[in-house]
Structure 1
C-alpha cells in the first residue's frame, strides 16, 4: 500500500507497540494530526511516525486518510476550543476532544478537504501566536482537571503525565517530546524550587534514578499533574505531597523551563 502521508480522521487513534489490538497502547494520535507511514503490516495495520513529536507505533489504516505532501507540510492553524467540539466528515457527525490541532487553510469558510475527506466545522479557534502568559497556561491546564489517568493517553478523555504536559504546551505553541524522560532534555534548568515560575516543568524519578513523572508548576508550592487523575497537589524541595492523603508520592529530580 503506497501511503507515505496520512492524517488522523477519528477523534482519538490508539498507537500500539505491536500490530494487534491487544498490544500495549504506547500513545495516541489525535484528530487532525499528520503521520508518515513507515511500514505496512497484516490485517490493515500500519506503522506510523507522528509528525508532531516523532513518536512511532502501530495504528489501523481505517483511522487515517491519505494526504499529499502539501497538506502534510502545512502549518497547524486552528484548534478545537471545547471539551468536545462538533465537526463533520463526509457529512457524518463527529466530536473531537479539546486541544486538537487542525490544519484548516479554508476554515474561514467552515470547510476544508483532507484527501478524500470533506471536513466541515461548527466552531474552531485560530492559534494565537505569541500571545501567551501565566494566565493562558492556567486556563489551558485547568481544562484537563479531573481527567482520568490513562497510560498512553493524550486527550481530555484520558491522559498520562507527559501527555498532559505535551497537550498544554502545544496550545502555547511550545512543542514537547512525548515521554517524561524525553521532555526532561528540553529547556533550561531551574536550580531551586523557590526560583520556579508558573509553567516550569518538574520531573520526578524512581528508586533506580529513572525519570518517570512530570508535572507543571503553578508556583513554588503547587503543581498540576496527571496522577490517578489530573489534579493540583503540594510540592516542596523533596517532591509531591498528595493534598487528599498527606502522603508523599513523587521524588523531585529536576526543574526545567521551556519557552518559544
Structure 2
C-alpha cells in the first residue's frame, strides 16, 4: 500500500484510468488518499475522507511515507477551508486556487501557513471564522454556494451536485458524511414530521422505484437548499420540493434525517 496527498485544487475521480471516463466525484486539495496500483499516468486510489474509490491522475498527488500518512490522518491540526474560494502561495511564490472544503495540514493560524509533504504554503487571505453552532454553520456554508451551477460529481463552487453540497457543508462544519445521497440516507435519526425538523437536517427524495436520488439541507420557514440545475432555495412540505418557477413538485420526499442528533 502506498500513500499520498492531493496537491491540486479539484481533481476528477474516474471509474477507469482514462480522461474519457466519466467523473464520479472530485478529490479536493489536501485530501489524503491510499494508492492501490498504477496504470500509466493513473493511480487507483481510495479517498480517505469518504472512502470513495476510483482512478486519479498521479501527477496531482504528492507521495507520503506511511508514517507521514498516519500522522496526518490522526492530526487535529488540519484546517478545513470554509471560504468558497481562496488562494495560497508556496515557497516559490507559485499561486494555488483552493475551494471550500480543502484540507490544510499543519495549519498555523498566526501566519496562515500549512504544509504538504516538504512544501510550505501560505494563504493570501484570512479565512472566514465559523461560529460554534454546527447547524448554523452548515446552513451558512450551503448558502455560500447559492446559484452555483449543478455538475454531476462536482464538489466545488464552479459545479456541485446535490450530495456534494451536503457533504461539503457538513465537512466544513466538522462532520464527515458519505459522498452519495444513497449512502448519506443510511446515517442519522429519522424525523417523523417536517415540522419537527431543524435547520441543517438532511431531506432525502426518491424516484418511482424507491431509490434515493436527491438530497437537500433543511432551512427555516419550510425551505430547503439543494442543487438541482443550480444551488437554489425552494419550499418543502410533506409531499416534497415545490418549484415555484415550474409550479409543480420537482422531488418526492422520502425521509428527513437528523445527523446531529
Per the TM superposition, whether the score is higher than 0.5 is: yes
CA contact under 8 A between 1:187 and 1:256: conserved in structure 2?
Answer: yes
Please give the TM-score of this superposition, normalised by the length of structure 1.
0.91
Secondary structure at the counterpart of residue 150 of structure 1? coil
Please give the TM-score of this superposition, normalised by the length of structure 2.
0.91
User: What is aligned with 1:100?
Assistant: 102
Distance 1:243 1:47, change over 3 A: same
Point out the more displaced range, 239-248 or 108-117.
Answer: 108-117
User: What is aligned with 2:187?
Assistant: 186
Give the 5 Å matches for 1:111-130.
111-125=113-127
Q: Deviations over 1:218-252 (max 9, x none)?
A: 13621100000000011111111112221211111
Counterparts of 2:162 and 2:193 in 1: how far apart (Å)? 22
CA contact under 8 A between 1:81 and 1:124: conserved in structure 2?
Answer: no
Q: Deviations over 1:6-42 (max 9, x none)?
A: 111111010011100010100001111111112212x
User: What is aligned with 1:29?
Assistant: 27
Secondary structure at the counterpart of residue 120 of structure 1? strand
Counterparts of 2:80 and 2:203 in 1: how far apart (Å)? 26
Give the 5 Å matches for 1:173-252.
173-219=174-220, 221-252=222-253
Question: 2:46 matched to 1:44?
Answer: no
User: What is aligned with 1:5?
Assistant: 3
Give the CA deviation at 1:106: 4.1
Give the CA deviation at 1:195: 1.2
Secondary structure at the counterpart of residue 24 of structure 2? strand
Give the CA deviation at 1:74: 2.1
Give the CA deviation at 1:82: 3.0
Give the CA deviation at 1:105: 4.0
Q: Deviations over 1:168-194 (max 9, x none)?
A: 111111211010010000000001112
Structure 1: 5+ residue stretches without partners: none
Q: What count of residue pairs does the alignment treat as equivalent?
A: 256
CA contact under 8 A between 2:82 and 2:141: conserved in structure 1?
Answer: no
Counterparts of 1:127 and 1:33 in 2: how far apart (Å)? 21
Secondary structure at the counterpart of residue 25 of structure 1? coil
User: What is aligned with 2:259?
Assistant: 258
Give the CA deviation at 1:75: 3.3
Distance 1:55 1:75, change over 3 A: farther
Q: CA RMSD in A?
A: 2.0
